[in-house]
Structure 1
Amino acid sequence: MADNGAANGTVTRSTLRQQIADALRDEILAGRLRPGDVFTVKQIAEQYGVSATPVREALVDLSAQGLLDSDHHRGFAVHRFTIDDYRGMVEARMMIVDGIFRRHLSALADAHQPQTPAPPGEPDVRFGAVLASVRRRAEAAARAARAGDLDILIGYDIRFWRELSRLVAANDYVADFLHRLRVHAWVFAVPYLRSDHELLDWLWGGHTDLVDAITQGDAAAAIAVVEEYNAHALQWADRLERLQARGH
């Protein structure tokens, strides 16, 4: 019985650790925890009404993901990304995503061909079936972008790109790396976007265009959509830099 209790305690602590990490990541992505904000393990533990151990573990996890900076004397602070950091994120994902689509030209064409349905009672894990789920994310993200609903857009955009990366790259390591870049990019962008009077002009909503290109097996069109998306992101970074130079 003692062993079972220890095991259950481990599972509970691990689950709590993940829940706290997820909650804090959402706060950072939403811009409610802003770059440079400082807090301690004790403050977060009191906020969530939990013990210090899972909180400390969650904060260490977020530090390892590059979202927090740790200071033994001050506690933890939300990492402050620069415009140059953001440009580096965009350029890194440009190179990786472009390589994925160029490498999988034939795979995209093959995926466009009719497929045999899965046998009754077996899960349908075909390319087309998974792509249908990605399309639903794409449509929700595109609607949020048109409406200027940043909170909804962030959630669907992150899930859209993660599912799409796993589907097209067929490599979880690549997908996880791209996911981390995208989270970092949003963490940088959100505080600026929330105060941008031209928000609607800078929220990209071409998710469904990308899914359409992949559905049609047109890798060249898919690459063009991604290139337009990344160019849009870099144009926004240039504009932000000009605004900061003018003291806005």
Structure 2
Amino acid sequence: MPGSGAVTRNTLRQQIADALRDEVLAGRLPPGTEFTVKQIAEQYEVSATPVREALVDLSAQGLLELLQHRGFRVRVYSADDFRGMVEARTLIVDGIFRRLAERGVAPGSGERLVSVRRRAEEARRAARGGTLEVLIGYDLRFWRELSALVGNTYISEFLHRIRVQCWVFAVPHLQRDPRLRAALWDRHGELVDAVTLNDADTVRRLVHDYNQHGLNWAAGL
């Protein structure tokens, strides 16, 4: 059927990008790791084309750097980079919740809030248990679904990208942190409660706490 090859390739491209992103976020591909298209293609036993496309996608998202004539490298972020990410994240999240406070949760969002609350509970449990890799998965889904309540996919996608970059910086440091549980923010459920009640003051306070928690942690590195 015409076009079926392209669909298959694009699906494979996304699968490879997702798999590599998970490897980076799990710390199995730490910052500074270099590799070639050929190495990744052999690892996943696929052709070079979808691998190259996946690596270019991840480069555009800020996870990888293209090395001229050498391949790709997992991007190394500094503490200053992280502080800049948190500042950007703060502005976006503040705007999201200000809009929610002004307009309220959109009609028909009840089911989505149930899903967000489930993500919040899992994220809180993972944070309190110190299970970093599990936390990252639920935390990313939590913020993505929560930000989607404003109904603007550009905002939601941009915030998701920044959050992934924040985790890329944080993971290697957190994996070495003997006080891991204390370093992980776990008030996701409180935030969902405040959004559900349209409690703008509590939302702002929790978002401030969330961002300040990250800055305080980074200041101690």
Q: Give the TM-score normalised by structure 2.
A: 0.97
Amino acid at match of 1:128: G
Unaligned runs of 5+ in 2: none
| 3-state secondary structure, aligned to 2:214 | helix
Indicate which of 152, 156, 166 corresponds to 1:175. Answer: 156
Distance 1:30 1:100 in 2: 28
Per-residue CA deviation, residues 121-179 of structure 1 (Å, 9 max, x unaligned), is xxxx7122211110000000000000000011000000000000011x22110111100
Q: Where does residue 19 of structure 2 map in the other structure?
A: 23
Q: Report the Cα offset of residue 107 of structure 1.
A: 2.2
| 3-state secondary structure, aligned to 1:104 | helix
Per-residue CA deviation, residues 170-198 of structure 1 (Å, 9 max, x unaligned), is 21101111000000000100011001001
Distance 1:77 1:238 in 2: 26
Q: How many residues align?
A: 221
Q: Where does residue 99 of structure 1 map in the other structure?
A: 95
Distance 2:127 2:65 in 1: 31
Q: Where does residue 42 of structure 2 map in the other structure?
A: 46
Per-residue CA deviation, residues 57-81 of structure 1 (Å, 9 max, x unaligned), is 1111111111110112211000111
User: 1:30-109 to 2 correspondence within 5 Å?
Assistant: 30-108=26-104
Amino acid at match of 1:165: S
| Deviant stretches of 4+, over 3 Å | none
Distance 2:35 2:175 in 1: 23
Indicate which of 133, 141, 150 corresponds to 1:159. Answer: 141
Range 184-193 or range 95-104, more displaced: 95-104
Q: Report the Cα offset of residue 12 of structure 1.
A: 1.0
How large is the Cα RMSD of the aligned pairs?
Answer: 1.2
CA contact (8 A) 2:100 2:198 kept: no
Indicate which of 192, 198, 205 corresponds to 1:217. Answer: 198
User: 1:180-195 to 2 correspondence within 5 Å?
Assistant: 180-195=161-176
CA contact (8 A) 2:128 2:186 kept: yes
Distance 2:112 2:143 in 1: 13
Distance 1:129 1:55 in 2: 36
Larger Cα Rg: Structure 1 or Structure 2? 1
Q: Give the TM-score normalised by structure 1.
A: 0.86
